[in-house]
Structure 1
C-alpha cells in the first residue's frame, strides 16, 4: 500500500512516525472528485502548516499532503504509544462517519469525531443515528442546519482561494484570448442539468440578446443529459443566436477559472444546493452574481448590495435581473466590486481553515 507525503524520499519508518504524530484525520472516501473533495483539499492545504494531519484516502490528494489507507490507519494508530494524544477525525460523508466509528469503537483508537452537515433535506434515520454518535456536528449554512434535529455546535461557511479566483484588469481582452468576442458576457457554471436551472439561464439569455446587442453568454460544465442540451441548442439556433450563446462542455480547472474571470455576470440558478461554492468563486472574481435562494446563497448575498437573489424557478425574475445587469454596466460593476470585497472580508479559505483549526483544538 502506498503512502504519499510532502517529503518525497521519506523512509517507511519515518512515515509511520509522522502518521502517529497526526492530530487530525481528514476523511476522503469518494473516488469521484466533488465539491466536498474540493473544500476538504482547499482547507487542508492551509491547515497543513498549522496542525499535523493526514488524509484517509489518496484520491485527488496532492503530494504535499500525507495520505494513508484505512488499514494503515488501523495498524499504525494501534501501534502508537499508550500515552498518545486523542486525535480528531473530520468526516464530511456518511461512510466517513462509519470509518471513524470503526476506528474508535472496533479498533480502540482514541478519537473525537467531527461531522460537517451540508445537506438541505430531511436526513435518513441511519444518517441521524450516525450523527448522534458524533462528538461534534457543525454546518456550513443556516438552511442546512435547520434540517438537523438538534442545534449544531457552530456554523462555519466554506471559503475560496482568493489568489486563484481573482478579478482581471481587462475582461474583454481575456474573452478574446479565450476565442470569444469582446462583447459583455454572462455565464453559468457546473454540471449541465435541469436541477441547475440551465434552461432558465438559456431562456433569459435569448431574451437579453434580443434587447442588448453587445451581450453574449456561455454555459460551462460537464453535460449529464445530452437530450436536454440538444433541446436547448435547438432553441438557441431557432433564435439565430448560436454565435452568441455557447455550450463549452467540461473544462479543466485552470480554464474554468479563466472563464469565470472573463464573465461580467454569473448566474447560479439551482433548485437546491448543499452549499454552492460557485457563487463564492464568482464573487471572488468580481462578477455580478444572480443567484436563486438555494444553498448558502441567502446567507452570502444581500440582494442589491453584493449580488441579486431571485426565487427558485422564477423565469420572469431571472430574465429581468439579467437584462437589467446587461443593460447597466455601472450597476453590475458596483455589485461585482462589493461582491469581491465580501469574499475578501468573510469567505477566504484561510478564514474557514482557521475556524476549523480552532474547533479541532477545542475538541483536543
Structure 2
C-alpha cells in the first residue's frame, strides 16, 4: 500500500481474471517505479507485492499529488476509461487520462466516444494504430530480457528439464486452443518429424476446461501417428523461460492474436522464430537478409511445414538467426524501453 498523495500515475485493473492486460500491469509497474515513476495500481487480481491504492483513495483525488498539478490515469479497457472521464469531467478532479489500445478491429461507437475523450492514446502496434481515428503513439510491448536470455549451455538446459540432450527441439508455447493454432503446430510436426529423427517437439501451455477436448484430440492424432515420445505435451510452467532455453526453433502458429509476446520471448532467448502474420508478429520479427525469423500466412499448414522444414534442415541458418534474434530483442524490445516510452507520453501531458 502506498500513500495516494505520493502517487502521480494510477494504473487501474478492473478485471479479476488474469489476462494479457493484467500481466502487462504486473510486469511494468515495478520497472516504471525503478525508473522513478510514482505509479501505483488500483483494482483486484493483482499480487499484494505490487504498489497499489484502495478504491476509497479515489475520494482523495480532488487533491493533486505533491509537486504536480494533476495525476495521470492510465486505462487499458473501456471500463477503466469511463470512471476516469466521470472523475475528470463531472467531478472536476485534476486528472489526465491515457488509454492504451491493443484492439485490431473496428471500434464500436461507444468505444470511439470514450477514446475521443482521452488526453493521450497509445497503440500497442502499428496495426492497432490503423484502427484508431485519433492521434496516437505506438509503443510496442517489451519483455524482461534478463529473465528471457540464452542458456550458458543448452545441453545442460535440456538435461535440467529431463529432456534428451541429444535431440534438437522445436517448440510452441501458449494456451492450447484453436485460436492459438496449436493444431497447426501439431499437424506440422506430424508431417515433419518422421523424416527428421534428431528432432522432437514440445507443446507447453494449459488447455482450460472448454478446450480440454481440443487438446485430447491433438494427443490422439499424435498417438495415431506413433509420435507420442517425440511430440511432448508438457503443460503449463511458471519457469517457462527455462523451457525456451532448450529450444532450437520456435513456432508461433496463431490464427488470431492481439499482440503476442511469445516470439519476443523466444528471440530474447536466442531462438529463431516462424510466426504467422497475425497480431504484432510482422512488426516483431526481422525477415530477409538479417532475419530473426520468417512470417507465414495464417492458417496455412503447407507454408508452415515448408518454412519450418527449411529451418530444421539448416543448422547454420538457425545459428545465425539465433544470434540476430537475441540482439534484436535486447535492443528493441526490453521492458525498460517500453517503460521509458510510456514515460515520454506521460511527460508530454
Fold similarity call, TM over 0.5: yes
Q: How does the TM-score come out when normalised to structure 2?
A: 0.93
**1 CA distance for matches of 2:286 and 2:66?**
52
Which residue of 275, 284, 287 corresponds with 1:303? Answer: 287
2:72 partner SS: strand
Distance 1:106 1:70, change over 3 A: farther
Taking only aligned residues, the RMSD between alpha carbons, in angstroms, comes to 1.8
Residues 18-97 of structure 1 aligned to structure 2 (within 5 Å): 19-49=4-34, 50-61=36-47, 63=49, 65-72=50-57, 74-78=58-62, 85-97=69-81
- Between the two proteins, the alignment pairs up a number of residues equal to 343
Give the structure 1 partner of residue 152 of structure 2: 169
Give the structure 2 partner of residue 271 of structure 1: 255
Give the deviation of 1:52 after TM superposition: 1.2
**2 CA distance for matches of 1:70 and 1:111?**
16
Q: How does the TM-score come out when normalised to structure 1?
A: 0.90
Distance 1:332 1:62, change over 3 A: farther
Residue ranges of structure 2 left out of the alignment (5+ in a row) = none
**2 CA distance for matches of 1:84 and 1:353?**
20
Residue ranges of structure 1 left out of the alignment (5+ in a row) = 6-14
Distance 1:95 1:81, change over 3 A: closer
**1 CA distance for matches of 2:65 and 2:244?**
50
Give the structure 1 partner of residue 113 of structure 2: 129
On the 8 A contact 2:8/2:65 being kept in 1, the answer is: no
Give the deviation of 1:143 after TM superposition: 0.8
**1 CA distance for matches of 2:300 and 2:272?**
19
1:137 partner SS: strand
Residues 186-201 of structure 1 aligned to structure 2 (within 5 Å): 186-201=170-185
Which residue of 159, 163, 173 corresponds with 2:142? Answer: 159
Give the structure 2 partner of residue 242 of structure 1: 228
What do residues 256-312 of structure 1 show as CA deviations (whole Å, max 9, x unaligned)? Answer: 111111111111111221111111111101111110111111112122411111000
**1 CA distance for matches of 2:66 and 2:313?**
68
On the 8 A contact 1:120/1:272 being kept in 2, the answer is: no
Give the deviation of 1:61 after TM superposition: 3.4
